[in-house]
């Protein structure tokens, strides 16, 4: 039985508690939050869970095997490092850290101690994203041409991170899992409409080696909610619309066909190909439930998590590059991948 | 009665002929096209219209007052200059020319001779775009925050111009009319998926003085057709979806409200404001019909067309800057507005 | 403090428990269900709530003021009557009973004892339905012309009631509240696709005195889920689409205009009127929470509930008439309204 | 070369002229209409077509092989009979006549003379409806369970026929072609909101032998346009939405599965089956063009048209029964199929 402490009980913490509480082989032992008011309802709902306003109570408890960290980004590094030093496995919210340097040190700390470090890239565990990856790996899509995502809504303005770190982080973690290749450079643009605040609208292009391009549009100030990803391949194209009740994934047998022109040498004729559309039935399952089970499993067996520290670092590296490019109004920022990542 | 010659009878020419033929105060006298096959049906459908495979026949005809040029972009400059030199008023397809230099010379040639030079920015004459401009000018939207447009489909790949010159030109002409301000710099990214061909997917950010940002996503290789523009203002936001049968324009009484925080000095509390949505009834009218009447009117009265050469040049200047930035993978390109434009 | 016992802990019971537990002035004292397995999780989640597999334990408890009955329809009458005889106020699931006779006796039993009898017509407490009623009462819609509702999905086939008693009951309770008039006759048709089972697809027309007609289409065997109501008035028309995330209510300023024909005496010219569409912002609130508060309020103050026994009976009367008409393949069945209802 | 006269040049006539003019093996020789104003543009657009305000000019012309009748319903019988008596083949608008008696006499007149009599059930020639029929005939849908259609909009009120004869006629002709079985009884309800006018809202249920039910909702007074048909089968279900730009036909691999209950003898367990959705790519083709070619082909070869007089009569018989049932507020009206139809 893996005993888990949940640090941070704001928006996401209650979901972690509920799912770990129902995960086979796990139990939630502690919930902590700086705010005594926020943790007050916990004992009423879960009489067996201990609470505290000091996360160190969790780290000190030798019965605790692992912690799940659901606090603001700026505190991830300090909390995760303290947990790892105390010998606890760690599941940390995304983005995993405020910088690649922090992320790299977290990975090293976990590796040194043989502890599991997993990042909560929840979307990776949804049936829709799993299906996209399966379609890509099976070769059904052909060569990937582009990954284009729009994630906009009328949202809570964050004070400490810009809209890319808040919204695009989802797209980058999905892209990392589905595309399975890493960008080599980033160009990003954006604007902060409120003085002294981080950018609330942003556009981010990612260049890859070869014939692939990526783009994310993130916006806290849109009149409607859009969650739509286009994945274009040489053989088929996919639309992932997360707001669809069913039919979240649509696969289009459409594309271009290229033939040498019969008339003009050295020129190609580009034609359309328009075939059927197909919406595969997806499993109905809460992503966080599968993710909690995976975390428990990784701790027990020692296997690498699907969304390990390296995946988390790759996402942070893109966010870092994008923020830099955005300050320089779109100037290209190269991604220098570390050796072992 | 204004007598008009239509040069170019491919995809768009027939629409020009039909609309000018039905425009009060105008008649189509000539239709020319390099292809004898393409103009063959004209005399059957319009017995009174003369045809030729040589546009110079039109320019030589002293009875012709004006020409409408609907040929590939690369020929606009030569044809328009010849027509202006022959003393004919000119309506030219968009983009009006291949470069700002060409565009500037066309404007000068028309001005020198006191001739009308109008660019066929058709969308400007749609009820939907007119309504957007009206909403902006009335102050209902407040300060403009962003202009974001997506224009994608599975489309014909062009061989001579990239996807921005083919698709984004629509958005730039609409933005020019509605926003009524000019960008000061452009950052664009894109990719050509076929070797030796122009870019078929592109993203283009436009920076303005002050609190406004613009963005266009254009793509010839999308599985579905999208024509959607978001116009965000400090008081209201608009969605223009051109694929909606009715309700093309939706106005959202939504946004953010900013208040000084009661707790923390120097910090603002950013809150939502979510009110009604409203879809104004739009007139049902073919845009090209209104545009044809406007061209005739400008010739007759000497007034400046709404979409005059200067508007056409502003759009070409943005396309030129975007192509340049795209080659440099997003590097910022400044817009140096000419004095008189 | 009103002390409440919830009888029946299947699909809906947990929602009643959660909402009454959070309702000011109320507490849930008991939960009962025939199945020991179903009530097993209750003490874990709500340590202060007593459980039993015998509802009579609740009725015997003098501390209990009221019961909420969420059991199959066939048991409503027996359970409600036992509760009323035990001096408990009653909230009963819809449809309130299996027949008008049962419903009438329940009303009488409550009235005799001065007890509150309320029917759980949940939709009546949604912001969308409240807005529809408000639009109707304000006169904005003009005279009502029709009420048309479609409620279809791939659903659980019921064994004891047909699809009208399961799905159309929602529409009839909404219509009763919004239209505020009662049908005088019903014609219904339908089919049972499985031998020996109740009808799983049904159509039901309701005739009113004057210029109003109602219709409901209910279907357990549809490939997609539809929840859409059209409410046509002489001045405006409303669409209520419950599957829309926002914009559940759209008000159309459209209709017909009738004028005497200038040419033909005695003939009318019927023209269109097409104006704006408007989607009012709706409050975000769980209907059952408002309903729980209303039930508590009615018990405390003695006021009549909005969805009282009479409303419940009117709905049962329509379902009864529809089932009768359906057996006779659409034959008209009159509604004989009782005197006091 | 088949020479054709088009009688009636209102809303639909121009489409007939254009399509027959472009049909291989056919030419339009005459266009007639009672209104000289309506036919005035014909010679301008089609210099070789003769016009007249008297349809008898067409019938007298021995060079004319066939007529296409696009006049109000009430005149179909008289015009078609006159044409058949003059030895002309006939294509007549839907509904083919005002009564089954008229329709039967038209069929007899054509048969006696060996002339082609075809009814313009245009939808039958659309790729979408052809696909539905193909799906049904291949057995992919299994046994048909229901045919449900909604055809509503803010429409022109007709003075001479009710909304079923104007709108539902489309659905009945599609159903006749796809389902390939005939109803045995009809129950219909509706209302006329304007005094002295025909019903503008109507609901029509059709009963078949066995496990199939049909329903049409037609309405001239709806705020939005809906054109949606559900076709439920035991193996798969289809949605035909004619307002979708692409993806007009969606096939759902969904339904119910019935198994004997392991617990209760004699009781069945009804479960869901939810599989993929599939939208077949449809040909892009104007239905009327295919239909014109088919008419020419039938005249030339003597084969029976797909939409022959018998199909037209079956549709008129349903409309007649529905009008009768509607007057009796839903009373069941049997369909007595004639012997040879």
Decide if B278 and C276 are in contact by the 8 Å CB cutoff.
yes
Please state, in angstroms and rounded to a whole number, the distance separating the CA atoms of residues A254 and A252. Answer: 5
Closest CA to A39 of A24, A29, A50, A28: A50
Model confidence pLDDT, tens digit, residues C219-261: 999 999 999 999 999 999 999 999 998 899 999 999 887 776 6
Q: Locate the chain C residue with the closest alpha carbon to D330.
A: C330
Model confidence pLDDT, tens digit, residues D69-117: 999 999 999 999 999 999 999 999 999 999 999 999 999 999 999 999 9
Residues of D in contact with B245 (CB under 8 A): 225, 243
Decide if B278 and C277 are in contact by the 8 Å CB cutoff.
yes
- Calculate how close chain A gets to C46, using CA atoms only, in Å: 7
Q: Which residues pair with C277 in a beta bridge?
A: B279, C252
Decide if C279 and B278 are in contact by the 8 Å CB cutoff.
yes
Q: Which helix (H) or strand (E) holds D294?
A: helix D287-301
Residues of D in contact with C330 (CB under 8 A): 187, 189, 205, 325, 330-332
Q: Are strands B144-154 and B213-219 parallel, antiparallel or unpaired?
A: parallel
| pLDDT score for A341 | 35
Model confidence pLDDT, tens digit, residues D141-190: 999 999 999 999 998 888 889 999 999 999 999 999 999 899 999 999 99
Decide if C213 and D201 are in contact by the 8 Å CB cutoff.
yes
| pLDDT score for D338 | 44
Structure tokens that stand for B49 in this block: 């219209």
| pLDDT score for C339 | 37
Beta-carbon contacts of residue D238 (< 8 Å; ≥ 6 apart): C223, D132, D135, D141, D229, D230, D231, D249, D250, D251, D252
Q: Say which residue the tokens 């994203």 belong to.
A: A129
Residues of C in contact with A243 (CB under 8 A): 245
Residue pairs between chains B and C whose CB atoms are closer than 8 Å: 28
Given A45, A224, A245, which is nearest C45 (Cβ)? A45
Given D213, D267, D274, which is nearest C154 (Cβ)? D274
Q: Give the pLDDT band (50/70/90) at residue D340.
A: very low
Decide if D243 and B245 are in contact by the 8 Å CB cutoff.
yes
Please state, in angstroms and rounded to a whole number, the distance separating the CA atoms of residues C331 and C316. Answer: 19
**Residue D142 backbone zone (phi > 0: left; psi -120 to 50: alpha; other: beta):** left
Q: What is the DSSP string of B278-316?
A: EE-------HHHHHHHHHHHHHHH-PPPTTBHHHHHHHH
Model confidence pLDDT, tens digit, residues D189-240: 999 999 889 999 999 999 999 899 999 999 999 999 999 999 999 999 999 9
Given A154, A187, A224, which is nearest B187 (Cβ)? A187
The interface predicted TM-score (ipTM) is 0.94
Closest CA to A331 of B325, B13, C245: B325
> How far, in Å, are A191, A293, C122, C173, D237 from residue C167 at the CA level?
49, 37, 13, 11, 21
Each residue's pLDDT expressed in tens, for chain A with a length of 341 residues: 999 999 999 999 999 999 999 899 999 999 999 999 999 989 877 888 999 999 999 999 999 999 999 999 999 999 999 999 999 999 999 999 999 999 999 999 999 999 999 999 999 999 999 999 999 999 999 999 999 999 999 988 888 899 999 999 999 999 999 998 999 999 999 999 998 899 999 999 999 998 999 999 999 999 999 999 999 999 999 999 999 988 999 999 998 877 766 655 555 667 778 899 999 999 988 999 999 999 999 999 999 999 999 999 999 999 999 999 999 999 999 997 543 33
Structure tokens that stand for B247 in this block: 């309700």
Using a CB–CB cutoff of 8 Å, tell me whether B137 touches chain D: no
Decide if D278 and A276 are in contact by the 8 Å CB cutoff.
yes
Residues of D in contact with A279 (CB under 8 A): 276-279
Q: Hey, which residues 225-284 in chain A have their CB within 8 Å of chain C?
A: 225, 243, 245-246
Helix ranges restricted to H, chain B: 13-22, 36-39, 41-45, 56-60, 76-85, 100-113, 127-137, 163, 169-179, 287-301, 309-327
Q: What is the DSSP string of D166-232?
A: IIIHHHHHHHHHHH----SEEEEEEE-SSTTS--SEEEEEEE-SSS-EEEEEEESEEEEEEEEEEEE
Using a CB–CB cutoff of 8 Å, tell me whether D24 touches chain B: no
- Calculate how close chain B gets to A225, using CA atoms only, in Å: 12
Q: Give the pLDDT band (50/70/90) at residue D263.
A: low
Q: Give the pLDDT band (50/70/90) at residue B219.
A: very high
Residues of B in contact with A157 (CB under 8 A): 256, 270
**Arithmetic mean of pLDDT, B256-281:** 76
Residues of D in contact with A246 (CB under 8 A): 277
Q: Hey, which residues 33-62 in chain C have their CB within 8 Å of chain A?
A: 44-45, 47
Least confident among B59-63, B192-196, B302-306, D256-260: D256-260
């Amino acid at each position: 039985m893996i005993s888990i402490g949940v640090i941070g009980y704001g928006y996401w913490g209650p979901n972690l508690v509920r799912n770990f509480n129902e995960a086979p082989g796990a139990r939630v032992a502690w919930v902590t939050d700086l705010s005594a008011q926020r943790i007050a309802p916990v004992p009423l709902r879960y009489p067996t869970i201990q609470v505290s306003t000091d996360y160190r109570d969790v780290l000190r408890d030798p019965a605790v095997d692992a912690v799940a960290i659901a606090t603001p980004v700026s505190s991830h590094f300090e909390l995760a490092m303290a947990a790892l030093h105390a010998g606890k496995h760690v599941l940390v919210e995304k983005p995993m850290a405020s910088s690649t340097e922090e992320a790299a040190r977290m990975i090293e700390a976990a590796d040194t101690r043989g502890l599991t470090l997993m990042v909560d890239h929840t979307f990776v565990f949804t049936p829709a994203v799993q299906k996209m990856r399966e379609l890509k790996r099976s070769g059904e899509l052909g060569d990937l041409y582009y990954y284009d995502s729009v994630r906009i809504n009328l949202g809570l303005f964050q004070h400490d991170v810009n809209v890319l770190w808040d919204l695009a982080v989802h797209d980058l973690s999905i892209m990392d899992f589905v595309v399975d290749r890493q960008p080599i450079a980033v160009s990003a643009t954006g604007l902060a409409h409120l003085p002294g605040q981080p950018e609330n609208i942003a556009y981010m292009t990612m260049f890859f080696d070869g014939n692939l391009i990526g783009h994310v549009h993130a916006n806290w100030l849109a009149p409607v909610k859009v969650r739509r990803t286009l994945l274009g391949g040489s053989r088929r194209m996919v639309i992932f619309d997360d707001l669809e009740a069913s039919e979240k994934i649509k696969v289009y047998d459409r594309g271009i066909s290229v033939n040498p022109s019969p008339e003009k040498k050295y020129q190609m004729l580009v034609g359309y190909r328009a075939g059927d559309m197909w919406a595969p039935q997806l499993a109905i399952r809460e992503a966080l439930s599968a993710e909690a089970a995976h975390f428990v499993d990784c701790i027990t067996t020692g296997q690498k998590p699907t969304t390990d520290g390296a995946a988390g670092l790759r996402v942070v590296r893109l966010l870092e590059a994008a923020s830099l490019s955005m300050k320089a109004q779109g100037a290209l920022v190269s991604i220098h991948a570390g050796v072992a990542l």
